[in-house]
Amino acid sequence: MQKLYIFDTTLRDGEQSLGITLNINEKLAIARQLVVLGVDIIEAGFPASSPGDMNSVRTISREVKGAIICGLTRAVEKDIDCCAEALREAEQPRIHTGIAVSPVHMEKKLHMSPDQVIETAVAAVKHAKKYVHDVEFYAEDAFRSDPEFLVRIVEKVIQAGATVVNIPDTVGYATPWQYAELVSFVMNNVKNIETTIVSTHCHNDLGMATANSLAGIRAGVRQVEGTINGIGERAGNTSLEEVIMAIYSQKSLYGVETGINTREIAATSRLVSTITGVPVPNHKAIVGANAFMHASGIHQDGILKEKETYEIIDPEIVGVPRNLIVLSARSGRHALKHRLEELGYTENRYDLEAVYKKFLDLADRKKEIFDEDLHVLMGLNGKDANGISIANISVATNGVSSATATVSLEINGEGITDAACGNGPVDAVFKAIDRILRIPVNLEDFSLNSVSRGSEALGNAMVKVRCSENGVVVGRGVSTDIIEAAAKAYVNALSKITTC
């Protein structure tokens, strides 16, 4: 079996499309989890695009070991210089440089002739080689390029030293057989192709990113680029978890294997969704809440007789344990620890006493504690947002539209209370918090959904706020009281602005 390299671009192509700003701690948490998952390459950002990206690529390079750390550049010297500087402390640095190669991009966007594009590409690769050995070249919009021209430019950049060549379907236009045909054409016509790794990078505009990536593997690519949960520009990028499990399920069809620890897939998906505020649809392949549930009577009957009737993947392989016990206030530390272990939380990653206290607190308010509740509980196992916690909230509403809220916050040990009226209880609470914290933001989005089942379920609130300095920032809050959940999410977002 040949090795298939997994290239994760959640923090670059994924993040750049969200319109939100993740702070460096959030990016580090994702990068560290990607190492635990076992990806080979982490594309940490586009350093020349902003001081924030520069800082995050630099910090990830310094702090995260165990994977190649990659930075994106245009085929522009100053981008490459900036990227090399950001990658300076990386254990295994890679510069990912490139230029568009389709007629429409060359003529209308770059205003360059094909020969000028080749010259610029070769110069960029040579410049990047002055800094690092590992240089990946991307031929942007390769799928809509003239295949003969693609062969020409790929051959030249390999001569210039490119170690990896990326053939993106930038606009998600390909079908699997067309994409495979293009990759085969490159493999068969580029003379020096065996000295490099060919990579696939597909977008999902027609819902075929995973299929196209798999077709690329069958045609000879040995690196797949994508994101966790498929987040990314427009309809998203290839979902790495889908490609990984397609290969896992039918290894002989692809003749490749990955170094991925599949049992970390569910945890990685949850972390990315929580941090980015992008929910995973219930029906999403591999990581959706319903991906391993059997609802119809015929299916349930089949599963009870023989799992293989309707199950192609054992959920435990991707880190979703079978739900055999439900915890309650009567469950002891041992039962809690056991279930947490099954969910992928090893004891050295948390303080059992602290978690058990929070568990009992929740169990007092809810009769049954489900796995989803435990994930939330583990997410809350940190400190309150930047020294700010909610001491009290009281809301009076006349049942029609207007409401009055009184909120008490504790900021670094000091209590402050204020009140405001609003158009409904959530609006009133947010306005009262604004009066206390005085951080000027615009609320861009607010959503609330329930974690697990029943009317006593935890409410999971997400807010996105925009501020002039940090762009859009996401906050989350969870509570059995939905107004408190909303308040926590708002405070959480505002606290990130003060720390960004």
Which residues lie near ligand KIV (CB under 6 A)? 13, 138, 140, 166, 168, 170, 201, 203
Q: Which is nearer to ligand KIV, 140 or 264 (CB)?
A: 140
What's the half-sphere exposure (Cβ side, CA atoms, 13 Å) at 328?
5
Q: Give CA separation, 12 vs 166, 205, 210, 307, 485, in Å.
A: 15, 18, 19, 39, 30
Cβ of residue 206: shortest distance to ligand KIV, in angstroms? 14
At 266, list the tokens: 């569910």
User: Taking Cα atoms as reference points, which of 166, 260, 251, 178 lies closest to residue 219?
Assistant: 178
Q: Considering the complex, what minimum distance in angstroms separates the CB of residue 39 from ligand KIV?
A: 16
Q: Which does 241 bind (CB under 5 to 8 A by kind): ligand KIV, Zn ion, none?
A: none
Nearer to ligand KIV, 33 or 170 (CB): 170
Q: How many binding residues for Zn ion (CB under 5 A)?
A: 1
CB of 235 to Zn ion, least distance (A): 12
Q: Is 415 exposed, middle or buried (0-12, 13-18, 19+ CB in 10 A)?
A: exposed
Residue placing its CB nearer to Zn ion in the complex, 164 or 377: 164
Residue number with CB closer to ligand KIV (14 or 319): 14
**380 Cβ contact list (under 8 Å, min separation 6):** 358, 478
User: To the nearest whole angstrom, how small is the minimum distance from the Cβ of residue 12 to Zn ion?
Assistant: 8
d(CA 198, CA 273): 30
Closer residue to ligand KIV (CB): 13 or 342: 13
| Measured CA distances, 285 to 244, 292, 293, 329 (Å) | 12, 9, 12, 34
Residue nearest to Zn ion (CB): 13
For the beta carbon of residue 432, count every other beta carbon within 10 angstroms: 25
| Residue 225 contacts Zn ion per CB under 5 A | no
Of 228 and 378, nearer to ligand KIV (C-beta) is 228
Shortest distance, position 47 Cβ to ligand KIV, whole Å:
14
Per partner kind, with CB cut-offs from 5 to 8 A, the member of ligand KIV, Zn ion, none near residue 476 is none
Residue 13 binds Zn ion (CB under 5 A): yes
- What is the chain's alpha carbon radius of gyration, rounded to the nearest angstrom? 25
Q: What token pair was written down for 174? A: 């390909």
Least separation in angstroms between CB 34 and Zn ion: 17
Shorter beta-carbon distance to Zn ion: residue 124 or 340: 124
Residue 393 has phi, psi (to 5 degrees) of -140, 130
17/406 with CB nearer ligand KIV = 17
* Residue 141 binding Zn ion, by CB under 5 A: no
CA distance 346 to 482: 30
C-alpha–C-alpha distance, residues 4 and 221, integer Å: 8
Nearest distance from residue 197's CB to Zn ion, in Å?
Answer: 18
Q: Does 169 bind Zn ion (CB under 5 A)?
A: no
Using DSSP bridges, classify how beta strands 5-8 and 41-45 pair: parallel, antiparallel or unpaired: parallel
Report, in Å, the least distance between residue 233 CB and Zn ion.
6
Residue 138, contacted partner among ligand KIV, Zn ion, none, CB below 5-8 A by kind: ligand KIV
* Residues contributing to the site for Zn ion (CB under 5 A): 13
